[in-house]
A and B are shown apart, each in its own frame.
Chain A
Amino acid sequence: MSATVTPAARPPLRPAPRRRRTWSWLRGTAIALVTLVFALPLVWMFAAAFKTNVQVTDPSVGLWFTPTLDNFRSIVEAGQIVRSLGNSLLVGVVSTVLSAVIAVPAAWAVGRFGMHRTGSLVLVARIVPAISLLVPWYYLFAQMGLVGSYTVLVLSHMFVSVPLIMWVMISFFAGLPVELEEAARTDGLSAFGAFWRISLPLAAPGTATASLLAFVFSWNNFMFALVFADDRTQTVPVTLFNFISYASTDWGGLMAAATLITVPVVIAAVVGQKYLVAGLTAGATKG
């Protein structure tokens, strides 16, 4: 009761209407400016992908020009980018599905039973520099002659996605009311049945979020593919990296390749904005 303030007591403390309108206008402008700062560089890249090489190297061309698809045509004809997009898709989907299959049940166990010491293993996996896993694995896989195979690529991407999915899902399962599972048990479901029929369907949005994030991180992964992939299994970030050396001669092609990599991520961001934000911020507000 003491916390409630009667409306009558408040107006004198609030800024006058005119000041409030100015303030809200200022705030709108600031937000718009900030948004432009984050959006314009990407817009500039997308635009460059549709320019001729003469236009790309002339900054005064700006955003008003006749778009051409020549850059896309030439990199697609060169072939590698198409194969790499396929490889990235394959490695991304397989590693994400496998990771979800082992990480979601584990996250349920940690989230439901509060096994925080086990859970902190996940934190260790997030802290450790990926390259300190890369060196021993390269050392071993090279001895086994496995470097360059899809298997090794998928396994290496799972270094990231298993801890990531667990990280997101632990807080998700911890947030589900335990009573639902108890009720299901009382009604005769087995412990696994309660997980499978009750908690898992309820966690579907969380699983979708975590899987989408894991896929995006796999799609973006550069270091593992740089080491473990060969020409046949190369993923898009490595192909794009190899393109950079031609930058001075073919800016348009480079921007077209960068655009092809980025567009799926932009689509994911537009479609799954709400879920992605929830996934990215999961576990941060627990304190």
Chain B
Amino acid sequence: MAATEVSPARAGTRGRPDAPRTRPPRTFEQANRRLKWAMLTPALLFVGLMIVFPLAFTLNLSLTDAFGAVNADKRHIGLQNFLDALGDTRRFWPAARRTVVFTVGAVVLETVLGLALAMLMRKPFRGMRLVRTVLIIPLLATPVAIGVLWLLILDPTNGIANHLLAGVGLPRQEFLGSVSQSLPVLMLIDVWQWTPMMTLLLLAGLTTLPEEPEEAALVDGANAWQRFRHVILPMLAPTLATALVLRAVDALKTFDILYATKGAGGGSDFEVETLNVYAYGLTFDYQEYGLAAAVLVLFTLFIIGVVVLLRRRGGRKNG
């Protein structure tokens, strides 16, 4: 059928014969092929020039001793920067550990709370619109403003948090003023800000689930927990996996709120210095471009590793 419709259009000679099954007829297909590249090119050029090229540049920079003024001469020194970074137990490894602790802690809490909240909000209720509006505000608000807001609430002497703690007879806390409490406190702020994101993603997933399996389970006498554990959760697994990847990637890259509340270097004792904050400091405070690039390459590889791992596990789970 398609063959009889082929017009003598110029595009005809360039078409490749392997048109997949669900595509439109050939004539449209061939005109479309030129158009699709025309439409894609500006974005591909932008992504290529502005994103892929800098990555290559970073990779190259990581092999040099670039330091100080940006137009100073630099030499290639092989893998020395990587050896320096990986041998650095004072800044690099603690920063890597904090990055992992922050991400795992925050994302696990956000997933559990987000899932609970999504199940709670699953059936329609009065005020749904209002609640959803309130939920998106934390995740759309400027992270620096969120930082400022919690600085006020958690201020050790004048903050409402200590006032409330005193009201129920608990001792005063230093919160962000303390070396040991800063990272957990910032984790909890992240949980406050991003649990709604998990909830919204999971709610979107829940609305796409078919109702029949759950009704069948109900008829078979499964209780609420069993229906959740053995019917809903397995069906929700793909959405859960995607949500986890998205949130984990963003949590690994957290910068704004850490820098806004604790300043350069993640505080006096580097207590919230993650790999992102560390690389930022190396570049813009110490002009150690070569070493910073090496840290960034390691950091990027780590993030990609996490994504691949999570996607593979998610994929296996939903078979």
Q: Check if B204 is an interface residue, CB within 8 A of chain A.
A: yes
Contact present for B151 and A280 (CB under 8 Å)? no
In the complex, what distance in Å separates the CA atom of A128 from the CA atom of B283? 17
- B120–A241 contact, CB under 8 A? no
Among the listed A9, A128, A243, which residue makes an inter-chain contact with B219, where contact means beta carbons less than 8 Å apart?
A9
Q: A93 to chain B: closest CB distance in Å? A: 17
Would you give the shortest CB distance from B73 to chain A, in whole angstroms?
A: 13
Chain B residues in 8 Å Cβ range of A223? 255-256, 259, 280
Tell me if B145 and A280 are in contact (CB < 8 A): no
Could you say which residues of chain A place their CB within 8 Å of the CB of B196?
38
Q: Do A244 and B260 form a contact, CB below 8 Å, given A38-B192, A277-B132, A285-B208?
A: yes
Give Cα distance in the complex from A155 to B53, angstroms.
14
Shortest beta-carbon distance from B151 to chain A in Å: 6
**A158 lies within 8 A of B153 (CB):** no
User: Using a Cβ–Cβ cut-off of 8 Å, how many residues does chain B contribute to the interface with A?
Assistant: 108
A223-B153 Cα distance, complex, nearest whole Å: 24
B61 within 8 A of A: yes
| A216 vs B289: C-alpha distance when bound (angstroms) | 31
A238-270 at interface with B (beta carbon < 8 Å): 240-241, 243-244, 247, 251, 254-255, 257-258, 261-262, 265-266, 268-270
A284 near B246 with CB under 8 A, answer: yes
Tell me whether B304 and A127 are in contact (CB under 8 A).
yes
Contact status of A5 and B200, CB under 8 A, knowing A132-B54, A285-B205, A287-B239: no
Let me know if A220 is at the binding interface, CB within 8 A. Answer: yes
Q: B31 → chain A, closest Cβ, in Å?
A: 5
Contact between B149 and A281 (Cβ–Cβ < 8 Å)?
Answer: no
Interface residues of B in 19-51 (CB under 8 A from A): 23-25, 28, 31-32, 34-37, 39-40, 42-44, 46-47, 50-51
Are A58 and B158 within 8 A (Cβ)?
A: yes
Instruction: Say whether A127 contacts B134, CB under 8 Å.
Output: no
Q: Which A126-154 residues sit within 8 Å CB-CB of chain B?
A: 126-140, 142-143
The reply to whether A3 and B43 form a contact with Cβ atoms under 8 Å apart is no
B125 A280 Cβ-Cβ under 8 A: no
B292 close to A135 (CB less than 8 A): yes
Question: Can you give 26 contacting A-B residue pairs, CB < 8 Å?
Answer: A5-B215, A31-B125, A38-B196, A101-B42, A105-B43, A113-B32, A115-B40, A125-B51, A127-B300, A129-B296, A131-B296, A132-B54, A132-B55, A132-B297, A135-B283, A135-B289, A135-B292, A139-B61, A140-B57, A222-B256, A241-B260, A258-B149, A269-B140, A281-B201, A284-B239, A287-B238
**Other A-B pairs beyond A34-B120, A237-B145, 19, CB < 8 Å:** A31-B125, A105-B42, A106-B42, A115-B40, A118-B44, A129-B252, A135-B61, A143-B70, A216-B140, A220-B143, A220-B256, A241-B144, A262-B142, A273-B133, A273-B136, A280-B136, A280-B200, A284-B204, A285-B208
How far, in whole Å, are A152 and B108 apart by their CA atoms in the complex?
37
* CB-based closest 9 A-B pairs: A106-B43, A287-B238, A59-B163, A105-B39, A136-B57, A281-B204, A109-B36, A57-B158, A136-B54
